[in-house]
Structure 1
């Protein structure tokens, strides 16, 4: 197999494994362990970004030579186009589904993930809980979460529409695993549609396979309203 996916435990690279499982494509998998919290040298040796995910295609059907990519969105676009027959990515012929998909696909890493990362920093030991910056950070997170909630109330299914797309695969990490680093709770009434959405995702065979591949049989995906911080951030 030419396609190799590099996974760092408890990281955004779970998205790529889930994508591959949904598409039903063949791939090699390489696991990397954190050192002790951040990326190990083995990830840094693959790409200057030094972060997961990383994908290798050797040889790529496009270049006829080895291609190495970082960045979740770039990797997902490449795999869908080159190895996935365009599945899970609506196009112009899909009309409104395409524009909805496009916005929510980029919302994940353009808005939602950075916002939760800022919440994590705002809760750090050096931050002032009474700071207006901290208050604004939390307000921004609540606003973005309400956008997701309202969208799911409209579709009653997934972010782009009635079926799962790569927009969902990009987004779910922030609503689940990322919360192990920053334990945000969901209100069972205020975020009922988000919780219902995560339940649907958790029932997908490809998602269950991906999470077991990534984190092992003992790992329980963080799909509920409350979460416990990962042990590696309790040190």
Structure 2
């Protein structure tokens, strides 16, 4: 098994494990524990970025030598192209689905994740909930959720269309596990399509396997209206 996937507990690297499980890939799994909140030295030793995910392919079919990649999108693109026979990544031959896939695939880390991170950074215990910065960041988050809600209402299934793609694999972390760091809530009516989407994903055997591999049997994915803050954030 030349492919090694490094996962930092409670992090976006869950995306890579989920993808590998959807593709039924053979891989080595390495779990890294936060120290105490951020990435430990073991992650920093793997790649100059010092963040998860990190993928090692040794030897890579592309170079016949060891490749080490960071960045979720780069790793997902690589795995799909090199080990996944192009699955979960529509191409121009798929017409409108391809255009939708491109937009939502890049939306995940280009818009959605930064928006929730901004909420996390501005909405602390000592912050004024009525301050312009807090109001603005929450408004942006709400706007992006509305975009997703409308899109999922149109497809009735996934972001690019009727089937799962890497756009969904990139997106779900922000809508679920990331909320353990920043416990935003969903509105049962206003976000009904998002909640149905999360339920749909939560029923996928590969997703359930991935979350158990990443966080253990006792971990309950944050798929519902409310999300409790992780204990590591309360120290």
TM bucket by the smaller chain? Answer: over 0.9
Normalising by structure 1, we get a TM-score of 0.99
> What CA distance in whole angstroms lies between the structure 1 residues aligned with 2:80 and 2:126?
42
2:4 counterpart of 1:4: yes
Q: How far off its partner does 1:126 sit?
A: 5.2
Aligned to 2:233: 233
2:44 counterpart of 1:36: no
Aligned to 2:224: 224
2:140 counterpart of 1:140: yes
Structure 2 SS opposite 1:7 = strand
> What CA distance in whole angstroms lies between the structure 2 residues aligned with 1:123 and 1:19?
32
Aligned to 2:178: 178
Structure 2 SS opposite 1:73 = helix
Q: Mapping of 1:154-173 within 5 angstroms? A: 154-173=154-173
Aligned to 2:99: 99
| 1:47-91 alpha-carbon deviations (Å, 9 max, x no partner) | 010000000001110011110000000000000000000000000
Q: Mapping of 1:198-209 within 5 angstroms? A: 198-209=198-209
> What CA distance in whole angstroms lies between the structure 2 residues aligned with 1:3 and 1:133?
43
> What CA distance in whole angstroms lies between the structure 1 residues aligned with 2:203 and 2:95?
28
> What CA distance in whole angstroms lies between the structure 2 residues aligned with 1:10 and 1:148?
23
> What CA distance in whole angstroms lies between the structure 2 residues aligned with 1:66 and 1:128?
50
Q: How far off its partner does 1:179 sit?
A: 0.3
Structure 2: unaligned runs, 5 residues or longer: none
Aligned to 1:90: 90
Normalising by structure 2, we get a TM-score of 0.99
> What CA distance in whole angstroms lies between the structure 1 residues aligned with 2:129 and 2:212?
37
Q: Which runs of 4+ in 1 moved over 6 A?
A: none
